Chains A and B, each alone.
Chain A
Amino acid sequence: MSAAVTILGAGVLGLATATELATRGHAVTLVDPALGPGGHGCSWWAGGMLAPFCEFESAEEPVLRHGQASIDWWDRHAGGVSRNGTLVVALGRDRAELDRFARRTQGYDVIGGNRVAELEPDLAGRFDRALFFPAEAHLDPRAALAALQAGLAGRGIGVTAGPPDDAGQVIDCRGLAARDILPELRGVRGEMLVLRCPEVTLARPVRLLHPRVPIYLVPRGEGLFMLGATMIESDRRGVVTARSVLELLSAAYALNPAFGEAEILELGAEARPAFPDNLPRIGRAAGRIYANGLYRHGYLLAPALARQLADHVETGEKPEFWHETDDQR
C-alpha cells in the first residue's frame, strides 16, 4: 500500500530516503528551505569515500556491515561510483601507524612498492609498503546528490520550501538543524580543501596515516582532488583555520611534492551531526520520525538508513537503528 510521506531536509539522507521511498511507489514530498542540496549542508563538503573497511579502524561494526551494501545502492540510484579501492600509506617514521591500522581493519592486501607503482604510478618510489583495500569505492558527493535530485525530479518530485498542509507521515532528516528537537545531537567540525593539480593523477582515494593528522585525498577527475578532513569537537562552520590548512596541505605535499603547485579552489568547513556514540539513530521526537547522527559516514550509511526508514513506513516495525527516547520508555 502506498503511503504519503514528507521528508524534511534535502541533504544526503533526505535525498536517499526520498529516493528509496519513491522507488517503492510511495508519494513523497521533499522539503528544504534552500530548495535543494548545497553548501549550507555538510553533505556538500564530504569526501565521498565509500570506505567501510578503512572506517572500521575507529567506527563500530554497523558501519562496516551497512557500508559495504551502500556501494551497490549508490551505483544503482546515482551512478558515478568508482570501484578502485583505497590505498593507505604512511611516511617513514610513522610506519608503525600502518601496522596499527592493519591490526584494526580487514579486507586489505599488504602490498610492496612495485604494486603501489602499478596502482598509482604517480606515487611510484615513494612508499615501499602500503595497505590496499580492493573492495572500497568512491564517488563525487555533489554529483551524487544532483543525480538523486534529478532522479526524483524525473518522478515528478521537486523540493518545496515548506511542508504541505496534508504532510502525511513526516521524516525529519535535517542533520544538525534538528538540534531543536534532538538535544543529544552535537557538531563535529570538519575542514576540507578542493585542489586542482593536473600534474598528479590518482585512481582511488589515498589515506596518509599520521599519528596526529590522518588525511585523505580523493580524486574527483580532471585534476581535481578533495583534501580532508579535520575532526574537531566543535559546531563552528564556515571559515577554515590556518592551522588546519597548514596540516592538510603539508600532508598532501608529503604524499607528492607536486601538490605544492596545486591551485586551491575551495576551502570548506562544516559540522557533522553526531550522537554521543557516533552511530546513527532513527526514532520519534516532536510527533515525527527522525533519522540523524550519520557523523562522518553520511554517504556510507544513508542507503541503510533510507532502507530502514522505508521499511518502517511500510511495516511500522522498529528498525535496527531505532532509539527509544525518554518519554517513550
Chain B
Amino acid sequence: MPLFYGTQVSSPMMLGTAQYPSPAILAAAFSASGAGVATVSLRRESGGGQDFLRLIEGLGVVLLPNTAGCHSVKEAVTTAQMARELLRTNWIKLEVIGHGDLLAPDVFGLVEAARELCAQGFKVFPYCTEDLSVCDQLLRAGCEVLMPWGAPIGSGLGLNNLLGLKALRAAFRDVPMVIDAGIGRPSHAAAAMELGFDAVLLNTAVAKAGDPVTMARAMAQALDAGRAAYLSDPIEPREMATPSTPVIGKAFLQ
C-alpha cells in the first residue's frame, strides 16, 4: 500500500468528495471503494460549510484538502493555510490552474507555490503534468509525492500520454506517484496501476456515474487487479504469435 510522507494509507484509491447526488451516496461510495484518502475542496465551501466538513470527517479516512480552483500562487498558498487551520493537517494537494479550458496546471506557479508551502512545513501533493523537468523541479522544491495528470480534470479520457507517464515512472523510481485526473473507467485505473503508479485519484468518474456506489466498487477492483498485474511482472507484448503449445512434435499434426 502506498506510503505518503511516512504515512501508510490503506488503499491505492484516493476519492474526491465533490458532485455526488447526496452526502449519503458519497458515504456509500466511500465505503464501497475502500478509499484510504478523501480529497476536499475548500475554495468554495469555506463560507460556512462546516456541516459538509463534519460529514467528510465522519468518513473515517485520511483527509487531503486541495487548492482546486486557485489560479495564482498567492491564492493557492492562502487556501493551503486556511485548509491547515480548518482541518488540522499539513497535507495539501496543490493545484495551480493555468488554463481554464483544460484546467491544466500552471507549472511555473506550481513550482513556486510548492517551494513556498514546503518551506512552511506543508506536505505537498502537487497536481502536475508528466513533464520530467517540471517533476524534477517539484522534487527539488521539497515535494515527496508527485501527482501527474492522466488527462484533463473531469474529461474521463484516461491516460493520455503513455510514453510520458512511463518515462516519469522510470525516472523517479522511489517517488510515490498518484495519477490524478482524467480517469473515466476502471480500465484506465487498472492501466495506471499496471504502469507501476502507486495510487489513483478519482472524483468525477465515480460521482457522476449513474450508480456511483457500484462504480466505486468497480474502480477498487480495477486498482487491485492493476497493482497485482504490475507486481506479477506481466509479459511484454510482441508482434508475432507464440503458441502456448508447441506445434512441432505433436502426435497428430493437421
Chain A positions within 8 Å of B, measured between CB atoms, are 58-60, 103-104, 186-187, 189, 211-212, 232-236, 274, 276-279
Contacts and interface: CB of A to CB of B under 8 A. Distances in A.
Nearest to A100: B208
B22 A276 contact: yes
B24 A186 contact: no
B251 to A, nearest CB: 55
B65 to A, nearest CB: 14
B164 interface: no
Interface of B: 21-25, 27, 44-52, 55, 154, 210
Given A104-B210, A211-B154, A233-B52, A276 B23 contact: yes
Nearest to A58: B21
B52 A186 contact: yes
A212 B68 CA distance: 13
A235 B24 CA distance: 18
Closest 5 CB pairs of A and B: A186-B51, A236-B47, A233-B52, A277-B24, A278-B22
Nearest to A277: B24
B87 to A, nearest CB: 15
A276 B47 contact: no
A233 B154 contact: no
Contact of A186 (B25, B44, B47, B55): B55
Given A187-B51, A232-B44, A236-B49, 16 more contacts: A60-B21, A103-B210, A233-B49, A234-B46, A234-B47, A234-B48, A235-B49, A236-B48, A274-B22, A276-B23, A277-B23, A277-B24, A277-B25, A278-B21, A278-B22, A279-B22
A189 B48 CA distance: 10
B21 A234 contact: no
Nearest to B101: A93
State the main secondary structure of chain A at its contact with B.
loop
Contact of B48 (A59, A104, A187, A277): A187
A202 to B, nearest CB: 28
Contacts of A235: 48-51
Contacts of B49: 232-236
A276 B21 contact: no
Contacts of A189: 47-48
6 contacts: A60-B21, A104-B210, A186-B51, A233-B51, A234-B45, A276-B55
A187 B51 CA distance: 8
Nearest to A235: B48
Given A59-B21, A211-B154, A276 B27 contact: yes
Contacts of A60: 21
Contacts of B210: 103-104
Contacts of A104: 210
B185 to A, nearest CB: 14
B40 to A, nearest CB: 10
A235 B25 CA distance: 20
A233 B25 CA distance: 15
B44 to A, nearest CB: 5
A278 B25 CA distance: 10
Contacts of A212: 154
Contacts of B23: 186, 276-278
A316 B47 CA distance: 41
A187 B210 CA distance: 24
Most buried by A among B23, B50, B210: B23
B24 A278 contact: yes
Contacts of B24: 276-278
B166 to A, nearest CB: 29
Contacts of A59: 21
A169 B208 CA distance: 43
Contacts of A277: 22-25
A60 B45 CA distance: 24
Nearest to B46: A234
A232 B69 CA distance: 14
A103 B210 CA distance: 9
Given A186-B52, A186-B55, A233 B45 contact: yes
